[in-house]
Amino acid sequence: MGFFKKNKQDAKVVDRYINKNKFILEESMQALDRERLFYIPVHLGYVRISTLELVAEEIRVNNIPGAVAELGVYRGDFAKYMNEAFPDRRLYLFDTFEGFSVEDVVIETKNNYSPGTQDFSDTTIELVLDKMKYRDNCVIKKGYFPDSIGDLNENFAFVSLDADLYKPIYEGLKYFYPRLSQGGFIFIHDYNNGEYKGAKRAVTEYCKEHRIPFIPICDPWGTAVIAK
């Protein structure tokens, strides 16, 4: 879908497109000297993507070292924007690519965080990689986290935690925060999602234990942002 001029005829076309595809049309950040229209899937949220753009610019301008990573890739929709925002950095993609683990779901149901019944198995590694503009930068880390870390030895400038459930999010913070470069950022999705209460519990628990401040942003289902 191309760009649209702001007139009534184009507005009708945009409305039909948005209603059909569940995308939102927004002007991107003028703070980055960009005047364009772009489409973002509703479940990703304009606020989340635009905040990613601004954070990536801060990391670039301040020469913050490190790779980038996402835990909870699913079909690669947010990872795609990460890949484009950090074109010169290695992107580690952690996921089972088979949906939730039984072990993590047991913790969810026991603590009434979520039923853990949502199926995220309709994905493949190839489907994810096909969305990546800089595919050669991507390193797939398939398996149960943190077992899937293996012998990885990296520091990170940006990390997205989107694993939905308490245990993988807590383990993600436990692993990535100590390895986050000074000046780096972590996004934790679903912080204010009432359907996955374990996400907020993991963030508040870890941050309280380590006296780490964070900021919630108002994208769909909420994201907590940690800056180091």
Judging by beta carbons within 10 Å of its beta carbon (0-12, 13-18, 19+), is residue 219 exposed, middle or buried?
Answer: buried
Token pair recorded at residue 14: 């945009």
pLDDT at residue 2 in the model? 40
The pair of three-digit structure tokens given for residue 216, joined into one six-digit string = 């919630």
The DSSP element (H or E) to which 12 belongs, if any, is: helix 8-21
Domain 45-227 belongs to what topology? Rossmann fold (3.40.50)
Q: Would you kindly state where each structural domain of the chain is located, as residue ranges?
A: 1-42, 45-227
**pLDDT per residue over 112-155, tens digit each?**
999 999 999 999 999 999 999 999 999 999 999 999 999 999 99
Apex 32 CA angle, 27 and 33, nearest 5: 80
pLDDT at 19: 52
Determine the Cα–Cα distance for residues 199 and 165; give it in Å rounded to an integer.
6
User: pTM for this one?
Assistant: 0.85
d(CA 152, CA 147): 11
- Please check the confidence at residue 184 and state whether its pLDDT lies above 70: yes
Residue 213: phi and psi, rounded to 5, are -80, 155
What is the rounded average pLDDT for all residues in the chain?
87
pLDDT in tens, 94-120: 999 999 999 999 999 999 999 999 999
Kindly report, residue by residue over 16-29, the tens digit of the pLDDT: 544 554 444 444 45
